[in-house]
A and B are shown apart, each in its own frame.
Chain A
C-alpha cells in the first residue's frame, strides 16, 4: 500500500465515494462547497505517482488497472487543477439554486469519469469511466432546465453514446486480436498493428474519439452543449472533458507504425476542421458559443498533431499533443470562467478583468511568451513546412481573429451597473486558473527536456509567433469594422441537417407503428406463425 496506490485509487475513488455519499439527502445538500476537494487526489497523483507503474485491482482475466504515463500525467494534473478551480467557482455560482442537488451529482459523475480516463489502464475501466463521463456531462448540460438545454442535452447524449458504440466496437476488435485477449490499453497499439482488421479498428477508434473530440463535421453537439451548460460546467466541458478523446487517441493509436494515409487523412481532417470552426465561430455572438467553436478548432489542431505523428511514425507526437492539450485545458477553462466574472462586473472594474482574459485569449493564437506560443513552437517539429504547416499557421491566424471576436463579444455582456463587482468566490478561482494557464505551460516546457529558455526567447521564435498574431489582429479589426454583414449561422451550424433528419423520422416511425398494428391482428400473426415454420423448414433443408 504505497503512495502511488493510494493516490491513483483516490483519484477515481474519492469522487465516486462523494457520489455515493450523495445518495443520502442531508449529505447531498451539503456537498456543494466540497466539490473542489474531489479533484485534489488527482492533482497530487499527477505529481507523485507518475512512474508508469501498473496497479491492478481486478483478476487476471479482467484486470481493472490504473496507471499514469507522461501524457496522462500532464493532462491529469492540469485537468485536476481546473476541476478544483471550477469546483470552487461552482460553489459560489450555484449558491442556493434549486437545481444544485442534481448539479452536484452530475458534477461528481463527470469528475470521476474525467480524471478516471486519464489514469485507466485497461479498456473495461476506460470504457466504463467514459460512459460515466458522458452521462454526467449530459446532466450538467441539462442543469439549466431550459428548452435550449434539453435540446443540447438530448443531442449530446445521443452523439456521445454513438461515439462510444464506435469506440466499443474498435476496442472489442482490438481485444480479440490482442495476444491472450489482453484488456490492457498499453497492449492495444501493438495489437492493432498486428490485427487482421487493422484498418477497421483505426477507422472505428478514430471516428469514435474524433466525434468525442468534436472533429468537423461531427462537431455540432459541442457548441450546443458548451453554450447551454452553466458557466463552471462549460469551463470543465470545454477545458477538461473533451480531452478524454485526446488521451484515447494518444493511448490507442499505433503512432509509430500507422499507415501514412491514415495519419495524413486525420491531420487534414483536423486542420480543415480547425479552420472551418473559426469561420463559423466569427459569425456567433454569444461569448460561450464563440469559445466552444474555438474549442472545436483547437481540438482539430490537437487531432492533427496526432495525425501528423502517425503519418511520420513519430512517437513524440503523444507528448506534444498532450502538451498542446494541457495548455488548452487551462486557457479555455480560464476564458469560460471569465465569461461568468465579466458578466457580473461593472464598467469601473472591467479593464482589470478584461485584460487578463484578452491576454489568455490571444495567447491561444500563439501570443509570444504565452503557453500558446510554446505549444505552437513545439508542434512545429511535427507540422513541418508543407501543407500541414501552412494550414497550422492559418489556424493560428484564425484563432487570433476568433479570440479577439470573443473579447468583443464578452465585453458587451458586462453588468450595466458601473460599480458592480463579481463575488470573490468567482474572481479568485478565475484568477488562479488564469495564472496557472500562464505559468504551467512554461514549467512543462522547461522540464520536458530538450527545450530551454533561450530557445523560447530566440528572436526567430518570437517573430514566427508574432506575425500571425499581427495579421490576425488586422483581420479582427476588419471584422469589427465590416463584419456586420456576415451571415448569422445557427448555433451548431450543421445541426440543421440533424433537425431535418429528425423531422423525416416522424413518418418513418409512423410506418413502423402501422406495421406493428397490422402484424398484431390475429389472422396476420397466425399466418406469420405458419409461414415462419415453413421458412425455418426451408432454411434447414435448403441451407445445408
Chain B
C-alpha cells in the first residue's frame, strides 16, 4: 500500500465517520463536529490529489493547497456561525436541540 492510497483511505474513513455522526447524533454540537470531520476527510483527499500530481513528476500541484486553505477558512466560518447559533439557542431555551421543529405545525412569525 503506497502513501497516497493510505491517505485516501484515511480520508474515506473520516468522511464515513462524519456522515454517520451527521445522520445519527441528535445534538447540534455533535453535528457540527461531525461536519468538521467530513470536511477534514475531504481536505485530506484534496491533499492526496495534489500529492498524486507530485507522483507524476510534476513537483507537486500548488492549486489544491490554495483551495484547501480557502476551504478550511470557509469551514471554520461555518463552524463559528453554527456554534454561535447553538449558544444563542441554549441561552434562550436552556437546551440546544433541533427536535421541536419536527412538530407538525412550526410556529410562524
Contact = CB atoms under 8 A, between A and B. Distances in A.
A and B touch in their complex, CB below 8 angstroms: yes
Interface of A: 513, 517, 520-523, 526-527, 530
A530 B23 contact: yes
Interface of B is mostly: helix
B98 A522 contact: yes
Contacts of B26: 522
B91 interface: no
B23 A527 contact: yes
B75 to A, nearest CB: 18
Contacts of B1: none
B92 to A, nearest CB: 20
14 contacts: A513-B104, A517-B102, A517-B104, A520-B102, A522-B26, A522-B98, A522-B102, A523-B23, A523-B24, A526-B22, A526-B23, A527-B23, A530-B19, A530-B23
Residues of B in contact with A, size category: under 10
Contacts, number: 15
A459 B24 CA distance: 92
Smallest CB-CB A-B distances: 7 pairs: A526-B23, A521-B102, A517-B104, A523-B23, A522-B98, A527-B23, A526-B22
A517 B102 CA distance: 7
Nearest to A522: B98
Contacts of B102: 517, 520-522
Nearest to A517: B104
A445 to B, nearest CB: 65
Given A522-B102, A526-B22, 13 more contacts: A513-B104, A517-B102, A517-B104, A520-B102, A521-B102, A522-B26, A522-B98, A523-B23, A523-B24, A526-B23, A527-B23, A530-B19, A530-B23
A527 B20 CA distance: 10
B62 to A, nearest CB: 30
Nearest to A521: B102
A20 to B, nearest CB: 36
A97 to B, nearest CB: 37
Contacts of A526: 22-23
A517 B23 CA distance: 17
B35 to A, nearest CB: 11
Contacts of B22: 526
Nearest to A514: B104
Nearest to A516: B104
Interface string B69-109: 00000000000000000000000000000100010100000
Contacts of B104: 513, 517
Interface in B8-24: 19, 22-24
Nearest to B104: A517
B45 to A, nearest CB: 16
Nearest to B24: A523
B15 to A, nearest CB: 11
Contacts of B19: 530
A526 B35 CA distance: 12
A523 B22 CA distance: 8
A292 B102 CA distance: 51
